[in-house]
A = this chain, B = another copy of it.
Amino acid sequence: MTLSSLKEKPLKLGLAGLGTVGTGVYETLQRNHDILEARAKIPFEVKKVAVRDLDKVREVDVPVECLTNDWHELVEDPEIDIVIELIGGTTAAYDLVVAALNARKPVVTGNKALLAECGFEIFQLSAQLGVPIYFEASAGGGIPIIASLANSLICNHIKSIVGIINGTSNYILSEMEEHGTTFEKALEQAQQLGYAEADPTLDVNGWDAGHKALILAMLAYGTTISPAKIFVSGIERLSPCDFQFAEDLGYTIKLLVVIRSHENGDLELRVQPSLVPREHIIASVSGVFNAIAVTGDIVGETLFYGRGAGKNPTSSAVISDVITAMRDTLFPQHHTGFKLYSSDCRVMDIDDTVTPYYVRVKVADRHGVIAGIAAIFARHSIGISAVSSSFSHKDDEGNVWNDLVFMLHGCPWGQLQNSLAGVILLPNVDPAPSVLRIEPLLSQVR
């Protein structure tokens, strides 16, 4: 098939889902159609759009004859070359993606939950059939992190991927830091501004970032990884005083995704609130922005920054995949989509991962408390690099409390947990300490 013959027959797209991102994709495909065809030199049109409710009033003007409320039509229409899945969720979206691949139609999706939870089946199916699935929009919104990992950094062994990939939680952390807001108050604000979903659970408990981390790790190491392998903790238990302590110590607090490959092949894979040195470039990423630092054995350190979510940035990512899919459709036997190439990935048990730590413990204002806690850390062979305490404050019942912060030398997470199990049994110690990783970051500093 030559380019001139293509000019006569546009490629046909089927779009499933006309929510926020679906609407953005449809709008942009219309609005910037000229520049897309000029740059890609491939004519195309959206042939069908599947929606749940045909009668809903919409922001975009989709011709009535294009609309259907049955996604099967996209898969079954022999004219449709590429299916764009923007339904979300893991039920209908799963059925649609599997059906489209089986119908030999390349799929473009931004569905992180689907790929994180069903990556094993979906990537295997794609490999078996030789039909690609593209997913730039599944992590980092408009930031081209997927294409960069897959293509631009192709000659690199990926040593680490560290970053902020959930805008909602980053907005909350920024608010807590800048204005001393409580977690609850900052979350409420994020919801009012439309940055947080009605149900923000996955954003604040770290699992949205966890899904994205799984996808990045699968791509970076060419294999599938079960969601059971990732350790995830969220930001719900942070208090304004953690930000005060962090600032005094020269840090800020970020919900960090950490994917780090060790010399022996072991892989760290975790999402946890962490201290980041204030002079590090990642510390300066605030509000709903995302930033992902990738270190490769050849390229060294790189960092990608941008809007990690939202209608337009995500549409930009979806459409870059659509164009790639269109190019690949012309030569399907040699598509450029993600191909598994490794069957093995030894994800470390979280208990074995080592960093220094920040541990804040609320204690009653009595003598001997610091000594008691320090003795337990010593018994577990954990070194203390610094101790700070806050001014005393009274609770509603008139008891006087202090916040104590212990900065601990590097030790395995499991060893720390064992020591904390002892600490919280001490008298005069609140049983819910706040534990933050101190992430060893590279030289991306001022």
Q: Which residues of A contact B (CB under 8 A)?
A: 2-3, 24, 28-29, 32, 35-36, 38-41, 136, 142-144, 147-148, 150-157, 222, 279, 281, 284-286, 289, 296-307, 310, 312-313, 315-317, 319-320, 323-324, 327, 330-331, 333-334, 336, 339, 341-342, 444-446
Contacts and interface: CB of A to CB of B under 8 A. Distances in A.
A216 B58 CA distance: 38
Contact of A144 (B39, B153, B445): B153
B281 A305 contact: yes
A335 to B, nearest CB: 9
A296 B298 CA distance: 29
A29 B154 CA distance: 11
Contacts of A310: 300
8 contacts: A28-B155, A39-B339, A39-B341, A153-B316, A155-B319, A289-B444, A300-B310, A330-B331
Given A147-B152, A151-B320, A154-B319, 18 more contacts: A32-B297, A32-B298, A38-B222, A39-B339, A39-B341, A144-B302, A147-B148, A147-B151, A152-B320, A154-B320, A155-B319, A155-B320, A279-B284, A286-B445, A298-B319, A300-B307, A304-B305, A331-B331
A59 B322 CA distance: 43
A445 B39 CA distance: 32
A132 to B, nearest CB: 12
A159 to B, nearest CB: 13
A333 B5 CA distance: 11
A330 to B, nearest CB: 6
B299 A142 contact: yes
Contacts of A341: 38-39, 41
B306 A154 contact: no
Contacts of A35: 155, 157
B38 A342 contact: yes
B316 A2 contact: no
Contacts of A313: 298-300
A300 B142 contact: yes
Nearest to A338: B39
A437 B299 CA distance: 32
A165 B286 CA distance: 24
A133 to B, nearest CB: 16
Contact of A320 (B40, B153, B307, B445): B153
Contact of A36 (B155, B315, B316): B155
A307 B301 contact: yes
A313 B294 CA distance: 13
